[in-house]
Structure 1
Amino acid sequence: MNLDALKIVLVDDDEDDRTFFKDAIEEVDIKTNLLLFGNGQEFMDYITLPGQSLPHLVFLDLNMPIKNGIQCLTEIREIPTIKDLLIAIYSTSSSDQDIEDTFIKGANIYINKPNDFKKLKKIIKDVLKLNWQYHTSNLDRESFMLSI
């Protein structure tokens, strides 16, 4: 594991989406260590292990079996040791209700999953290069939804 790399997590139940994301992040010129989880419960079991090193950023799908993204987000924000994790909602949903719910529950950014590899690489690169301290201190509904 590369210690200088950003530790990134993707939680998504769709295997094709996980592979697509993995392939894209490998082509971005930023060193990363990517961990993949197939559902929210697997991720929550992992992230709440005592002494677990926290990722720099979590890409969290909304619609998953067992434990969905909203449930994970809600739990994460209630657990003192992980409540400050940077959470990027990464979903096919563009429903105003989903965007509003995740904004209110404390996600840091909302990203619609692109189906274009080039767009996905650009999104990943843009999100990894964000100045999160600035982004989160000035967060409002307009800056919450990432536009391509």
Structure 2
Amino acid sequence: MIPNLNCLLIDDDKDDQEIFKLALQDINEHIVCLTVDNGMEGLQLLRRNESFVPGHIFLDLNMPRMSGKDCLAALRSIPRLAEVPVVIYSTSSDPRDIRETKELGATDYIVKQYSLASLKEILRRYFN
């Protein structure tokens, strides 16, 4: 089976978006990562383009307009995305956030890294 090399990053921080995309390109130049700035935009994109099913969705928790937890709950209510891994990508390492997002259906939880090398090492798990 050929892996799906499309992903969606929902994160309001433009610097974090760029670092994330740089890490992915270093892992595999064929990975296509769409980015949106908040949960509302992410949901609009996914609802508007019904044929788009990303291989992974990476989701920040602390964003304006809609929290990552609310976005996660909405993502999990979209039937065609039921099998898509949703990975929380946040600065928070609070065990309560980790537990609550897993209960809401998050597949995994990544604490944002300050090193590009560390981020690449973590992201390799999802794209090998």
- The two structures share one fold, judged by TM-score above 0.5: yes
Q: How many residues align?
A: 127
Q: CA deviation at 1:128?
A: 2.0
- Check the 8 A contact 1:77/1:84 in 2, yes or no: no
Q: Which of 1 and 2 has higher RCO (CA within 8 Å, sep 6+)?
A: 2
- Check the 8 A contact 1:5/1:31 in 2, yes or no: no
Matches within 5 A, 1:1-148: 6-29=5-28, 31-49=30-48, 51-129=50-128
Q: What SS does the aligned partner of 1:115 have?
A: coil
Partner Cα separation in structure 2 for residue 50 and residue 18 of structure 1: 21
The AA in structure 2 aligned to 1:124 is L
Between the two proteins, what is the percent identity of the paired residues? 36
Rg larger in 1 or in 2?
Answer: 1
Deviations along 1:27-80, one digit per CA (max 9) or x if unpaired, are: 113621110111111000011125332000011001000112111110111222
The AA in structure 1 aligned to 2:39 is G
The AA in structure 1 aligned to 2:123 is I
> Which 10-residue stretch deviates more, 101-110 or 75-84?
75-84
Partner Cα separation in structure 1 for residue 43 and residue 111 of structure 2: 23
Partner Cα separation in structure 1 for residue 29 and residue 109 of structure 2: 21
Q: Please, what TM-score do these two structures have when normalized by structure 2?
A: 0.91
Q: Which runs of 5+ in 1 are unaligned?
A: 130-148
Q: Please, what TM-score do these two structures have when normalized by structure 1?
A: 0.79
Partner Cα separation in structure 2 for residue 126 and residue 86 of structure 1: 12
Partner Cα separation in structure 2 for residue 123 and residue 103 of structure 1: 18
